[in-house]
């Protein structure tokens, strides 16, 4: 172990949420339906296989659109952050946070995505929110697109596969970048951009169809998202030369199952296919491994003259990522209980414990990941999601004794501190959740991440009362001591 050091003086300590999982009020303030508003509550039997959880088809969307209430669509009500944000920020500020990550719901600003004029009520909502954050001394970290594009862009345009989405996104990005120029410095373009490949509906608004090559469609959609991200980055810098724009990746660090060269190469292959997304954002070009995949799979990504320049000229200022777990690769995954070709390939790491949802908890993997990113890009890094989804029990004294959550964050933060001692430039850490919100993948309320308990069950029943958990006091001490109390 290297010498433990402290976090940088200006380290951003925070929490992170997303509009679609927290705000609710899906039909208020002039908001249009978003892609998240039509995803029903799942009762999955296989939590580790994310890919079957977020698939939505045309019939499902039609059924959801016909439902005018909140129905069985939990992201329509979230945890009512839209109405409770002031008291929520009050409580969160008691943690001592210096950063708060959230997203702007595109459908609050452009209800249909292709409207000529933005919705002033939506703009005013985020202006109040960001202004209050500033007053509290909290840096807003704002994601432009977090799984919540206007539904009309899915149903009328077919999602990001359609190149016109670039222009529509530019209009939206320009509107918010300009409006919040003096309030927001840190912007993230697409949340977990790699989800477009493993969750085409969630990431790209793509409805999968029999007989169509989903990967071809997803790669095309991704090309449009990379361009949209580069153009938003350019605009952010024009509007405010001090703006800091980051990309955002669900980092899946893969370890080889064994030291057999075949397993080592399989892991490297998986890592390259995970890192090609950040390569495009940082280096402004596609790496050779992904190009080879396209050739081998017969995939043609349509690019227009000038696209390469746009990608090359407007690269990001920092790299942000979510980190929940590490993965294992093998040349023959089926021999190790895995599923070939599945990102959540199911191979178990015998050295790690897993969460109740099968996510393999690996704090040291965070140090490895930070060092790996740093040596690849030499750009500032930002851990914008990390946390433990767990079922919490409210004790008789009304509190939640979530020592398991404390242990999770403590061990990850210790490893992040080690990475800082290794020379990694780390901007901050925003723990996922802050307060309990609706889970993204399963839409469950019972999969909780927060330091603040929210009284609501999976059916949407409860008082919505907010109560700090045991982890709240712990995180408060950690922040107050800039990590010394870990
Ligand atoms: C990330 C997403 O994938 O993981 C978040 O950016 C999400 O939106 C988080 O909530 C945790 O996933 P889940 O499914 O447990 O909520």
Q: What is the pLDDT of residues 283-336, one digit of tens each?
A: 999 999 999 999 999 999 999 999 999 999 999 999 999 999 999 999 998 888
- Quickly state the pLDDT bin for 376 (edges 50, 70, 90): very high
CA 249/CA 275 separation, integer angstroms: 8
Binned at pLDDT 50, 70 and 90, residue 56 comes out as confident
pLDDT at 339: 63
From CA 322, how far away is CA 286, in angstroms rounded? 21
90 has a pLDDT exceeding 60: yes
Residue 452 has pLDDT above 80, yes or no: yes
Average pLDDT over residues 434-454: 95
Cβ(349)–Cβ(255) below 8 Å? yes
Atom of ligand 1 nearest to the CA of 192: 6
Q: Which residues pair with 142 in a beta bridge?
A: 102, 187
Best probe residue, ligand 1, of 322, 355, 382, 388 (max atoms within 8 Å of C-beta) = 322
Q: Which residues contact 376 (CB under 8 A, 6 or more apart)?
A: 275, 278
Biggest CA pair distance of the chain: 65
Q: How far is the CA of 300 from the centre of ligand 1 (A)?
A: 31
pLDDT tens track for 100-144: 999 999 999 999 999 999 999 999 999 999 999 999 999 999 999
How far is Cα 139 from Cα 133, in angstroms, rounded to an integer? Answer: 7
Give percent of the chain above pLDDT 70: 95
Question: Using only C-alpha atoms, what is the Rg of the chain?
Answer: 21
Look at residue 136 in the predicted model and tell me its pLDDT.
Answer: 98
Specify the ligand 1 atom closest to the Cα of 250: 3
Alpha carbon dihedral 131, 134, 136, 137, in 10-degree steps, equals 180
State in Å: Cα 442 to ligand 1 middle: 9
448 lines ligand 1 (CB under 6 A): no
pLDDT at 466: 98
**How many Å apart are CA 272 and CA 269, to the nearest integer?**
5
pLDDT recorded at residue 47: 57
pTM strictly above 0.90: yes
The ipTM estimated for the assembled molecules is 0.99
Whether residue 217 has pLDDT greater than 60: yes
Are residues 227 and 234 in contact, defined by beta-carbon separation less than 8 angstroms?
A: no
Kindly report, residue by residue over 8-55, the tens digit of the pLDDT. 999 999 999 999 999 999 999 999 999 999 998 876 555 555 555 667
Does 345 score more than 90 pLDDT? no
Mean pLDDT of the chain: 95
Residue 42 pLDDT: 73
**% residues pLDDT > 90 (the chain):** 90
The verdict on the CB of residue 443 being under 6 Å from ligand 1 is no
Which are the catalytic amino acids? Answer: 385
- The region, left, alpha or beta by phi > 0 then psi within -120 to 50, assigned to residue 439 is beta
User: How far is Cα 285 from Cα 283, in angstroms, rounded to an integer?
Assistant: 6
The mean pLDDT of 450-475, rounded to a whole number, is 97
In the predicted model, what is the mean pLDDT of residues 352-359? 88
- At residue 5, the pLDDT reads 80
Report the CATH number of the 12-480 domain: 3.20.20.80
CB of residue 318 inside a 6 A radius of ligand 1: no
- Is the pLDDT reported for residue 4 higher than 90? no
Q: Is the CB of 441 under 6 A from ligand 1?
A: yes
Least confident of 173-177, 236-240, 439-443: 439-443
Residue 213: pLDDT band by 50, 70, 90 thresholds?
A: very high
| Vertex 118: Cα angle to 114 and 120 (nearest 5) | 155
Distance CA 365, CA 255 (A): 9
Measured in Å, residue 35 CA sits from the centre of ligand 1 at: 16
Tokens 């930070």 correspond to 370
Which range has the worst mean pLDDT, 44-53, 341-350, 455-464?
Answer: 44-53
Q: What is the 3-state secondary structure (H, E, C) of the chain?
A: CCCCCCCCCCCEEEEECCHHHHCCCCCCCCCCCEHHHHCCCCCCCCCCCHHHCCCCCHHHHHHHHHCCCCCCCHHHCCCCHHHHHHHHHHHHHCCCCCEEEEECCHHHHCCCCCCCCCCHHHHHHHHHHHHHHHHCCCEEEEEEECCCCEHHHHHCCCHHHCCHHHHHHHHHHHHHHHHCCCCCCEEEEECCCCHHHHCHHHHHCCCCCCCCCHHHHHHHHHHHHHHHHHHHHHHHHHHCCCCEEEEEEECCEEEECCCCHHHHHHHHHHHHHHHHHHHHHHHCCCCHHHHHHHHHHCCCCCCCCCHHHHHHHCCCCEEEEECCCEEEECCCHHHHCCCCCCCCCCCCCCCCCECCCCCECCHHHHHHHHHHHHHHHCCCEEEEECCCCECCCECCCCCECCHHHHHHHHHHHHHHHHHHHCCCCEEEEEEECCECCCCCCCCCCCCECCCEEECCCCCCCCCCCEEECHHHHHHHHHHHCCCCCC
- Taking residues 349-354, report their average pLDDT: 94
Q: Which residues pair with 190 in a beta bridge?
A: 145
Mean pLDDT of 184-213: 96
From the CB of 440, is ligand 1 less than 6 Å away? yes
Does ligand 1 have an atom closer than 6 angstroms to the CB of 50?
no
């Amino acid at each position: 172990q290297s010498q433990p050091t402290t976090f940088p003086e200006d380290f951003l300590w925070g929490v992170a949420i997303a509009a679609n999982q927290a705000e609710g009020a899906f039909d208020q303030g002039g908001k249009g339906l978003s892609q998240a508003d039509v995803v029903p509550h799942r009762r999955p039997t296989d939590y580790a296989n994310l890919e079957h959880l977020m698939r939505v088809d045309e019939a499902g969307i039609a059924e959801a659109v016909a439902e005018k209430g909140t129905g069985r669509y939990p992201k329509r009500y979230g945890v009512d952050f839209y109405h409770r944000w002031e008291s929520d920020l009050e409580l969160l500020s008691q943690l001592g946070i210096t950063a708060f990550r959230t997203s702007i719901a595109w459908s609050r600003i452009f209800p249909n995505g292709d409207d000529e004029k933005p919705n002033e009520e939506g703009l005013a909502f985020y202006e109040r929110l960001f202004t209050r954050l500033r007053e509290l001394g909290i840096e807003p970290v704002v994601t432009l697109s977090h799984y919540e594009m206007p539904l009309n862009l899915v149903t009328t345009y077919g999602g990001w596969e359609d190149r016109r989405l670039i222009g529509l996104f530019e209009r939206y990005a320009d509107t918010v970048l300009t409006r919040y120029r003096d309030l927001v410095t840190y912007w993230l373009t697409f949340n977990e951009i790699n989800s477009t490949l493993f969750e085409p509906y969630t990431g790209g608004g793509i409805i999968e169809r029999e007989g169509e090559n989903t990967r071809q469609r997803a790669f095309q959609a991704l090309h449009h998202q990379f361009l949209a991200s580069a153009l938003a980055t350019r605009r952010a810098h024009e509007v405010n030369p001090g703006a800091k724009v980051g990309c955002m990746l669900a980092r899946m660090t893969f370890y080889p199952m064994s030291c057999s060269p075949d397993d080592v190469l399989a892991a490297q292959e998986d890592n390259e296919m995970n890192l090609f997304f950040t390569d495009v954002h940082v280096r402004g070009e596609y790496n050779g491994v992904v190009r080879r995949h396209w050739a081998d799979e017969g995939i043609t990504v349509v690019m227009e003259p000038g696209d390469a320049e746009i990608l090359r000229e407007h690269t990001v200022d920092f790299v942000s990522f979510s980190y929940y777990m590490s993965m294992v690769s093998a040349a023959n995954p089926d021999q190790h209980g895995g599923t070939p070709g599945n990102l959540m390939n199911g191979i178990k790491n015998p050295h790690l414990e897993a969460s109740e949802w099968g996510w393999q908890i690996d704090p040291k993997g965070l140090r490895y990941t930070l060092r790996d990113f740093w040596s690849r890009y030499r750009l500032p890094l930002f851990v914008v999601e990390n946390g433990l989804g767990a079922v919490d029990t409210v004790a008789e004294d009304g509190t939640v004794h979530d020592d398991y959550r404390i242990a999770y964050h403590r061990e990850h933060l210790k490893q992040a501190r080690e990475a800082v001692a290794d020379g990694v430039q780390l901007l901050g850490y925003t723990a996922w959740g802050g307060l309990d919100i609706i889970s993204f993948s399963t839409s469950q309320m019972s999969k909780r991440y927060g330091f603040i308990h929210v009284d609501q069950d999976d059916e949407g029943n409860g008082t919505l009362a907010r109560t700090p958990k045991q982890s709240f006091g712990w995180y408060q001490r950690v922040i107050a001591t800039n990590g010394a109390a870990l």
